[in-house]
Amino acid sequence: MATDKSESAHATTPNMSTFGVPALVVSGFLGAGKTTLVKHLITDAQQQGLKLAVVSNEFGELGIDKALLQEAGGPGYVELEGGCVCCQLTNELLETLQNLWETIHPDRIVVETSGVALPFETLMTFWREPITEWVGESLAVVVANAEQVAEGRDLEGTFEQQVSSADIVVLNKVDLVAEGSLGRVENILQDMAPDAPFIRSIQGQIDTTVVFPPTPAQTYSSKRKSKPDIVPHTHEAFQAQELSFPDHITPEELIQQLQPLQALRIKGIVNTTEGPKLVQGVGPRIDLSAPPSQFPPEMLGRLVAIRRK
Ligand SMILES: [Zn+2]
């Protein structure tokens, strides 16, 4: 087929979020709990009335897991088999994502990789045309099994490569490790991924504002909705805090003011001396880039920071 689809069809899509569709690549070693995390993300999206598309490349897992996922994920759930999405199936992944965009217009996207895939290589698909036009921030979330790390099993090779390219590390199964050992476990992982924020979880239960942070406009509207009542017992609580910034701050000053906040995530638009900038932060890494082509003027100068309580 010739690629003469009109660009305006995408631009006029009414439910396209200002910031583009956020995308996560969920990776992690076999048995880390990727599928459990993805199920939690599906449930969370359903509770918020958001359309989540899931592309799963995981194979060799229990069939029943897949059946459950398919049921929960509905039409936005696609399995890719016959290879790995980080190498052999990159074109298939690209086509699948574009199809999902054209058919169901998801609000969020999750790609679950197999246990051997490399998240950074998978993430590169999101920077390719045509999906780069509608995808917003894309991040690699690596799920690590705390028990495996505590026991020192399989920490080299693929595991280390995965963790080292994580934007966010979900330290799962923390209930299987003595609380006194968790610091040591985190040190091991922190050596591999020094800049990535860590969040602890049990059975993939995480506060999803860390992986899908609200935009300034959403922090107001979401206050009306009741938050899903999850109690992960991981002693970690997060809060979304709104910050405002005056016009004509230099990009350097902005970054200097944001870094000491030690936020896990930062998102918003600030009018700098170099014009409006989209600000996106993951841990100490703060990126300034061109703002969305259209955004409500009241959003200018407002950032949301997700921080530990
Ligand atoms: Zn691969």
Which of these three, 142, 176, 200, is where a domain ends?
200
Q: Would residue 111 count as lying in a domain?
A: yes
Last residue within a domain, chosen from 148, 172, 200: 200
Based on the structure, what is the number of domains in the chain?
A: 2
Find the domain containing 300 and state its range.
Answer: 216-308
Residue 215 is predicted with a pLDDT of: 78
* CA–centroid distance, residue 55 to ligand 1 (Å): 15
Residues 188 and 223 in one domain: no
Each residue's pLDDT tens digit, 32-53:
999 899 989 998 998 888 999 9
Asked whether residue 11 is domain-assigned, the answer is no
Return the half-sphere exposure (C-beta side, CA atoms, 13 A cut-off) of residue 238: 28
For residues 224, 230, 233, 236, the Cα torsion angle rounded to the nearest 10 degrees is -40
pLDDT in tens, 48-86: 889 999 999 876 554 455 666 666 656 788 888 888 999
Query: Distance from the CA of 297 to the center of ligand 1, in angstroms?
Result: 42
Residues 6+ apart with CB under 8 A from 146: 171, 172, 173, 174, 176, 177, 182, 185, 200
Tell me the per-residue pLDDT of 106-127, one tens digit each, with 9 for 90 and over: 999 999 998 889 999 999 999 9
**Same-domain pairing of 157 and 46:** yes
Same domain, 135 and 267: no
Residue 184 sits in the same domain as residue 262: no
Q: Summarize pLDDT for 130-187 with one digit per residue, the tens.
A: 999 999 999 999 999 999 999 999 999 999 999 999 999 999 999 999 989 999 999 9
Expressed in angstroms and rounded, the spacing between residue 87 Cα and the centre of ligand 1 is 4
Same domain, 33 and 152: yes
- Which of 175, 200, 225 is a domain's end point? 200
Q: Does 297 score more than 90 pLDDT?
A: no
Please check whether residue 251 is in contact with residue 274, taking contact to mean a CB–CB distance below 8 angstroms: yes
Same domain, 138 and 73: yes
Residue whose structure tokens are 């003469």: 4
> For residues 27 and 140, is the Cβ–Cβ distance under 8 A?
yes
Does one domain contain both 247 and 290? yes
Same domain, 80 and 224: no
Domain assignment present for 40: yes
pLDDT of residue 293: 82
Same domain, 73 and 34: yes
Is residue 190 domain-shared with residue 227, that is, in the same domain? no
> What does the alpha-carbon distance between residue 161 and residue 145 come to, in Å, rounded to a whole number?
15
Q: Is residue 77 part of a domain?
A: yes
Q: pTM of the prediction?
A: 0.84
Ligand 1 center from residue 277 Cα (angstroms) = 34
Residue 2: inside a domain: no
Does 34 fall in a domain? yes
CATH number at residue 58: 3.40.50.300
Tell me, in angstroms, the distance from the centre of ligand 1 to residue 227's CA.
37
The pLDDT of residue 71: 66
For residue 88, the CA-to-ligand 1 centroid distance in Å is: 6
> Which residues, including other chains, have CB under 8 Å from residue 66's CB and lie 6 or more apart?
56, 79
